[in-house]
Amino acid sequence: MKVVVTGVQGQLGYDLAKQLVAGNHEVFATGRNELDITDEVAVHAFIEEVKPDAIIHSAAYTNVDKAEEDEETAYKVNALGAKYLAQAAAKVGAKLVYVSTDYVFNGTATEPYEPEQETDPLGVYGKTKLAGEEFVQQSLNEFFIVRTAWVYGINGHNFVKTMLRLGEERGEVGVVADQVGSPTYTVDLAAFIIELVQSEKYGIYHASNEGVCSWYEFAEEIFKQAGMNVKVNPLTTDQFPRPAARPSYSVLSKKKNVEQGLTPLRDWKEALSAYLVELNG
């Protein structure tokens, strides 16, 4: 397959490109320097020149707090970028995977969110990602939308790296205990997306590692597996105010993946342990 990957400097884009290359696919890995996804003319010209079989769109404006004060940029990247890529995909007959987020939900649920459940984003990041989803659906009859949550990988900043650094520096950390979700290792997420894009099983999917925890429990497990003696103090969301509201419940249902015969992502603790090995490699 000839595949364009956007956001190759990001955690997911990096692993997508790496795995696609390992699978002998022809990969056009793009970052901001290679392709400005907010430039409609540039997007169309690039996709028409490459004529890919598939586009995996993982580039995003992911700074949730900054998005609150810079809505214009977040919208250009998350919504218009998806629109231009979807329209270009339609023109050349390429499959498109749009990577979305748990932030399209308000987080008030008490059981895992199904892909077809009603969306209700709390802030700018979620709203702009949802707008991207809507543009994809308007532009293409067949598409893949993959929502994920709590992502971490080797390339870039993430919660695991932050905890390891703070644990080392301070020996004690405070972590929010009233937000619940499923951590997602980009190696596993990339494998899921690559399997999906090679199928004809179009639609909206949820993908995260199996199991559920709070950020506090995630931190505890990180230190336990890393063999570090760090005191973790549970905080409430109110004790740790941030510009953007976070969904308190981000658990995504993967029932559809099983029904479609797709390979499930492994348990989050197992994934974390593989990541720590990769980090120390």
Task: Write the burial class of residue 168 (CB in 10 Å: 0-12 exposed, 13-18 middle, 19+ buried).
Answer: exposed
Output DSSP code: residue 249.
B
Tell me the C-alpha to C-alpha distance, in Å, between residue 194 and each of 142, 145, 162, 198.
16, 13, 28, 6
Output DSSP code: residue 145.
E
Q: Which of 258, 235, 236, 237 is nearest to 246 (CA)?
A: 237
Pairwise CA distance, residues 244 & 63, whole Å = 10
Q: Which of 38, 7, 248, 54 is nearest to 132 (CA)?
A: 38
Pairwise CA distance, residues 13 & 17, whole Å = 6
Amino acid at 239: Q
125 is catalytic: yes
The active-site residue, picked from 61, 75, 113, 125, is: 125
What is the signed CA dihedral for 224, 275, 156, 17, rounded to 10 degrees?
Answer: -170
Q: Which is it for strands 144-148 and 95-101: parallel, antiparallel or unpaired?
A: parallel
Cα dihedral sign for 228, 234, 239, 240? positive
Residues marked as catalytic: 125
